A and B are shown apart, each in its own frame.
Chain A
Amino acid sequence: MSDIKKIKDDYIDKLNKENNVDKVNNIKSELFGKNGIISNEFKKLGSISVEERKKLASDLNKVKDELQNKISIKIQEIETKEINLKLEKEKIDVTLPERDIKIGKIHPVSQVIDEISSIFSEIGFSVEEGPDVENEYNNFTALNTPDNHPARDMHDTFYLDNNKELLLRTHTSPVQVRTMLKGKPPFKIIAPGRTYRSDSDQTHAPMFHQVEGLHIDKNINMGHLKGCLNYFIKEFFEVDKIKMRFRPSHFPFTEPSAEVDIGYEIKNGKIVIGEGDKWLEILGCGMVHPNVLKNVKVNPSKYQGYAFGIGIDRLGMLKYGINDLRAFFETDYRWLSHFGFDPLDVPSNYRGLSR
C-alpha cells in the first residue's frame, strides 16, 4: 500500500509543478498507458490472495480516481491559463475604423415619386406612363388646346422638328390621352414623369417632374376631386390637418378648373405647411373637359371625372426644405449625399411614408 501511496504522492507533486498540457498527457500515459505504473499495479492483482486483493483493489481504485481527477483538473487549469494569456496578447484597438462603408442614396425626386405613388395606391390608383417625346396632338390638340389658342403660350415648348409636330411633352397630361385611347372607362390612374419647358432661371428648370392624376367613372364629381386631393396633401405632408383653398382658374383641358393653394407660415425661418395665413399654390386640377373625353372616344354624357397635375419637384422642396430647384439636376455629390434617401427607406403605408 505504501508503495501505491508513494507513487500517488510523487505524481501529485509532479503534476502540481507541471505547466504544459503535453507533459501532463505524458504523465497520464506513464501512469495509465498499456505498461503504465498504475496499470501494472492492477495487473498484479491477479497474483495475490483474495483477501489482499480486495483491499489492494479498493486502494488502487482510489489512487487511480484521485490521479485521474488531478490530471483533468490540471489540463483544464493549464488550458484556461493559456487562453487567458492568448486573449491578453490578442487585444486590438476596436476604435480603429471599420472597412469603408459605401452609402448609396436615392434622389429626392425618386423618393417623392414613390411617396406619391404609395399614397395614391392606397386609394386605388394605378401608375401609368407615357413617352417623353410626344406629338403635337397628344400634348395640345387632344387636350382642347388648338394651335391658335393663346394657352399654348403658357407652355414654352421644345420642338424636335420645324413643323412643330414632335415635341418634348410640356406636361404629363398627354398620358391621360394615351391611357383613355387605349382602354375603356373607368380610369383611375396617376402618371408621374419628366416634363420639359424651355425656360430656365432660379425657379424654373428646362426639365422638371409632374404627376398627373385621372379618375373617370360614371358619377365622379368635384366633391370627389376635393376629397382626393385633400387626402393626398394631408398624407404627403404627414399632418393631421391641412388648410386648403380651391380657387377657380383655367386650363383648356379641364372645366371647371381650379388651382389649389395650401396654407403655410414661416416659423424660425422654416416653412410650416398646413397652418398660417399665407397661401402657396401647389397644383392645378379640374373636371375633364367634355371635348377631351370626345377626343379620346369616351362618351361625356355617360362618363365624367377629374384630372390634376402636381409639380413633384416643388412638393419635394416644400416637404424637405430644399431651396433651389436647379440643384436637383446638377449632380453635386455633396447635395446628393445630403438630400438623398437611404435605398432601404421605401415609402409605404404600413411602415410609414417617411422615417
Chain B
Amino acid sequence: MKFTVDWLKNHLDTKFNNNQIIDKLTNIGLEVESFESSTSELDTFIVAKIINAKTHPNADRLKLCDVDIGSDKTIEVVCGAPNAKNGLLTVYAPPGSIIPKNQMKLSVSKIRGVTSYGMLCSEAELLLSNQSDGIIELKNNKYANKIGEKYFKNTSEKVIDLSITPNRPDCLGVRGIARDLSAAGAGTLKINKKSNLKYRGNQNINVTIKKEKAQGCTIFGSCLIKGVTNKESPKWLKDKILSLGQKPISAIVDITNYVMFDLNRPLHAYDADKIDNEVIVRSSSKGESFEALDNKKYILENDMCVISDRSGVLGLGGIIGGTRSGTEYSTKNILLESAYFLPRSIRKTSKQLNIDTDAKFRFERGIDPLSIEEGLIKASELIKQICGGEISNLDVKKIDNYKKTIINFDPFLFEKTTGFNVENKELIKILEKLGFDISKNKKILNLVVPSWRPDITQSIDIVEEIVRIKGYEHINTSEPIKTRLKPTLNYYQKLFHFLQRSVASKGYLETVTWSFTDSKINQLFKENDEEIPIVNPISSDLNVLRNSIFPNLLFYLKKNLDRGFKDISLFEIGPAFKGKNPGDQLTVIGAVRAGKVSRLSWNDKERIVDTFDVKKDVIQSLCEAGIDKDDIVIDDKTPSYYHPGKSGGVYQNKNEKNALAYFGEIHPNIIKKLDIKTEGLVIFEICLDYIKDSKQKMKDLKSEYKFSDFQKSERDFAFIINKNFKSQELVNIIKSVDDKLIKSVRVFDVFEGENIPEGKKSIAVNVTIQSEEKTLNENDLEDINKLIISSVESKSGAKIRS
C-alpha cells in the first residue's frame, strides 16, 4: 500500500513529522517497507538545451540537434519538431525511456541515415496536454540552471510503502491508515465533509442481483452520471495516481482508482451507453467469455460472479471490467458501480483465472459493506467537479443485510494475555478511536465492531487491537521459566545426534541436500518404494520426493569430482520417503566415499577405497552410538543398487527383519548411468528407525567388571573350506565350541589359488583360549584344539590344513 504524507494529511490532523509518522506506523503493526521517492518510468526524462540545431543532411523537415543534457559531451538527436532551435530548453528522453503516450521504449536508431541518441519530447508524448505540434518549450528563467536534472522530479513526493498484513483490508485505504494513527495518538482523524451533492432523476438502468446459490455479490449500488466530458486528469489527481506507481489514464478511471486508494472502496465506471438495457449480477456458465481491460480474453467456468447485460458478460464483479463497456475519452454517460462481493467468491474466481488486480486484492480481504454510498458520493462529486454532468439518485440493490458483530469483552483478558494492565479509560479511548461503539455492562464492555474490520470477531482480537495501539514496548520482559516437563531428547533424537557426529568424526563432510530429487536418478535407488511426484515442482529435475538419500548425494559427488576433488567422503542424515502420506518417511544416513586411501603418500602404499573401509566406518559408528558389536550379524543381501558381490547388510540381531545398515560398492551399471568418473566408490547407509531402543540406560548397561588373571593361550588354525563359506559362520562355530574358554577368534588370513583346490579357500584364524578358574595345561589345550577342529570339520565341511 503506497501513499504520500500529503495524502495522509487529507485525513489526519497531525503535528508529527515524517520520521515520527514512519516510526508510529511500524509500531502499530503497519510495517513500513520503504519511504522514498517513487521511482517511475518518468525519472529518465531530463531537462536539456539545444546547443545547435541544423538541417538533417537527408531530410529537409528533420533537424539534427546537438543537445546539452548536463554531461561532458553533447548528444546528437534527430528531431522533426518545427520549433527546435538553438538555445531552446526542452525535455530529453534518453534511449531506454518509455514514452508515456504510446508506451514505446526508445532505442538508438538511425533516422534517414543519421544516428539519433534518444528523443526530444512534445507535451502530448508525455501526456501533459494534447499539444503535439512541437517539442516542449521550457521557460528560461525556471529551467536554465536545471539542465541534466529530472524533468518530473518536482512532482514526486516521497512515498510511504506499507506492507499490510492480510487481516487489515481497512488499511488498504489512506483513511484507514489515518484512523489507526489517530488511535495511536499521532493526530486527529478529520471528519468527512457532508456532501451537498444534488441528485437529478433516477438511475434508470435496471439492476438485478440474481438469487443463486453461488451468488458472489450481495449489494450492488450504482448511479448514473449523464453528460460528462471525460478528459485528462488535473495535475493534483495525476500526481496522486503517479505516487501510487500507477499511470494516469483518464479522469474517470483515475477518480475511481483514487477513491479506491483513499477510502479502500473499489468502484467501477461503465460507459452507460454501451450497456444493453439492464445490468444483471449473476453466476457465470461454463464457456462464457469476455475481453477484460487487461486486453486478455477470459473463458469462464461455472459460478463465477459476473456483471452482465442482455448481450452477455460485461465484467467479473470485483475483479476486472470488460472492454465492451469501458469508458473512453468520448464517453458521455457513466454508470458508476459500488458493490460488495464475497471474499470467498472473489478468491476462488481469481485463482481459477489467475487474475490479480487492486480491486480483487481488496474484495478478497473484505471491503466495508457499509461504504457503498460513501464511495458513490465521493467519486460522483469528483467526476462532476472535473468532467461535469448530472448525477442520478443512488440505486442500491441488496440480497443480504449487513449484520453487526458484537463482542462482550472482559478487560481482564487483556492483562491475562499481555501481562500488563491498561486503565479502562485508556482502553475505551483506543477502541473508540478505532471506530468501536461501546457500552458498559458492569465490568464487561459491549463492543460493536466497525463494519470495516471483518478481521475482528472475538475477544482476543480486541486484546490485539489494544496492545498494538498501546505499544509492544509496554510488555514486560519476564525471566524465562526453567521448569522442565520431560527430557530434552528422546532415544531416537539422541541416536540421530550420536550417529551424525560419529560418522562425521570418520572424516565425512556432512551435507544437507533437497528432500526432492530428479525422478530419473531416483528410480535407480527406489527399489520397491512408490514414486512420489510433486504436483508443482520448482524445476523438472527436482520433481519427486527422494526415496533414498543417494540420488542427491551421488549427484553432488559427481559435481565435486568435476570440480577436481578426487578423495571425497560425504554424508547426509535426513528423511527418505517411502510413501506420500504424512509419516511415510525414515530417518536415514547416506554416506559415500570415493577415491583412494593414502594418495601420494611418501610412506604408505596407495590403495583404492573398498568395501571394508566403509564396513569399518559403519560398524564403528554403530558401536559408538551404543550398539553391542557382539550382537551385530552381517548378511550379503543388499538393495539392487549395490554391487551384488561386494556389499553387505548389517543386522542388530540374527532374526531381525530389516537391516539397520548396508555397505559396499555401488552397482557398476549405476556408476555408468550417472557417468561418475572415480577410481573407487563405496557407500553405506544406516536407517535409524530400524535400530532398536534397548530401553537400557548407560547406568544399567555396564555389567559387573570381571576378568581372568590365568594364563592366556593362543592357537592358530588354517582350514580349507568351500569358497562361498562365510567367515562369520566359521567364527561362530569355533566360538560355540566353548564360549566360556574361547575369548576371541580372529581371522588373519584368507587365501585362494596355489595349492588350494578349485572352489576352495584357506582361512586362517587365531583363537585365544583362557579359563577363568585355572591355568590350562597342555592336555586341556589339546582337548580344545581337537574339539575346535572336529566341530569345524563336521559343521562346515572344512578340512584342517596340515
Contacts and interface: CB of A to CB of B under 8 A. Distances in A.
A206 B568 contact: no
B577 interface: yes
A172 interface: no
A258 interface: yes
Interface string B6-47: 000000000000000000001111010000000000000000
B481 A224 contact: yes
B472 A258 contact: yes
Contacts of A337: 509
Contact of B500 (A106, A150, A151, A330): A106
A228 B480 contact: yes
Nearest to A114: B497
A247 B513 contact: no
A56 interface: no
Contacts of A268: none
A162 B533 CA distance: 11
A207 B511 contact: no
Interface of A is mostly: mixed
Contacts of B344: 148
Contacts of B195: none
A194 B580 CA distance: 16
Q: Which interface residue of A109, A255, A304, A334 has the most chain B CB atoms within 10 A? A: A255
Given A96-B602, A255-B460, A249 B165 contact: yes
Nearest to A159: B535
Given A129-B493, A207-B515, A255 B464 contact: yes
A114 B165 CA distance: 33
Nearest to A337: B509
Contact of A223 (B478, B490, B537, B574): B478
A122 B463 CA distance: 31
B602 A106 contact: no
A101 B502 CA distance: 16
Contacts of B560: 331-333
Contacts of A162: 535
A229 to B, nearest CB: 9
B509 A343 contact: no
Q: Which interface residue of A123, A150, A206 has the most chain B CB atoms within 10 A? A: A150
Contacts of B728: none
Contact of A106 (B417, B501, B506): B501
A110 interface: yes
B487 interface: yes
A104 interface: yes
Given A103-B507, A104-B509, A221-B418, A194 B478 contact: no
Contacts of B365: 150
B296 interface: no
A159 B536 contact: yes
Interface in A100-157: 100, 102-107, 109-110, 114, 117, 120-127, 129, 131-135, 138, 148-151, 153-154
Contacts of B463: 255-256
Contacts of A200: 538
A248 interface: yes
A344 to B, nearest CB: 7
B417 A304 contact: yes
Contacts of B489: 117, 126-127
B348 interface: yes
A249 B166 CA distance: 10
A247 B570 contact: no
A221 B556 CA distance: 47
B534 A159 contact: yes
A106 B497 CA distance: 11
Contacts of B758: none
Interface in B552-578: 552, 556, 559-560, 563, 565, 568-570, 573-575, 577
Given A121-B488, A256-B418, A256-B467, A127 B493 contact: yes
Given A106-B500, A168-B515, A290-B460, A230 B582 contact: no
A103 B569 CA distance: 10
Interface in B149-182: 165-168
Contact of A344 (B364, B501, B533): B501
Nearest to B26: A247
Interface string A173-194: 0000000000000111000001
A123 B482 contact: yes
Given A231-B480, A287-B417, A329-B512, A160 B537 contact: no
B494 to A, nearest CB: 10
B512 A223 contact: no
B178 to A, nearest CB: 18
A3 B560 CA distance: 88
B532 A226 contact: no
Given A287-B417, A333-B568, A343-B505, A110 B480 contact: no
Q: Which interface residue of B416, B460, B516, B545 has the most chain A CB atoms within 10 A? A: B460
Nearest to B466: A256
B482 A336 contact: no
Given A256-B468, A290-B460, A331-B511, A222 B504 contact: no
A11 B738 CA distance: 62
Interface string A186-229: 11100000101010100000110000000000011111101110
A36 B365 CA distance: 119
Given A127-B489, A127-B493, A150-B166, A246 B513 contact: no
Contact of A198 (B27, B418, B500, B538): B538
A46 interface: no
B724 interface: no
A289 B460 contact: yes
A269 interface: no
B480 A256 contact: no
A250 interface: yes
Contact of A331 (B513, B515, B532): B513
B569 to A, nearest CB: 7
Contacts of B782: none
B510 A336 contact: yes
A77 to B, nearest CB: 36
Given A148-B344, A331-B556, A133 B581 contact: yes
A95 to B, nearest CB: 12
Interface string B452-480: 00000010110110011000110111111
29 contacts: A97-B602, A100-B601, A102-B506, A105-B509, A107-B511, A123-B480, A123-B481, A124-B483, A124-B485, A126-B484, A131-B585, A133-B545, A148-B343, A158-B534, A159-B534, A166-B580, A166-B581, A188-B483, A198-B538, A223-B476, A226-B475, A227-B477, A255-B464, A256-B460, A287-B417, A328-B512, A332-B560, A336-B570, A343-B501
CB-CB nearest 6 A-B residue pairs: A102-B507, A248-B29, A223-B419, A250-B165, A331-B556, A248-B468
Given A106-B510, A256-B463, 20 more contacts: A97-B601, A99-B598, A100-B597, A106-B504, A110-B573, A127-B489, A150-B365, A151-B167, A154-B166, A160-B532, A166-B581, A186-B485, A196-B515, A207-B514, A223-B418, A246-B472, A246-B473, A256-B418, A287-B417, A289-B460
Interface of B: 26-29, 31, 165-168, 343-344, 347-348, 364-365, 416-420, 458, 460-461, 463-464, 467-468, 472-473, 475-490, 493, 497, 500-516, 532-538, 542, 545, 552, 556, 559-560, 563, 565, 568-570, 573-575, 577, 580-585, 597-599, 601-604
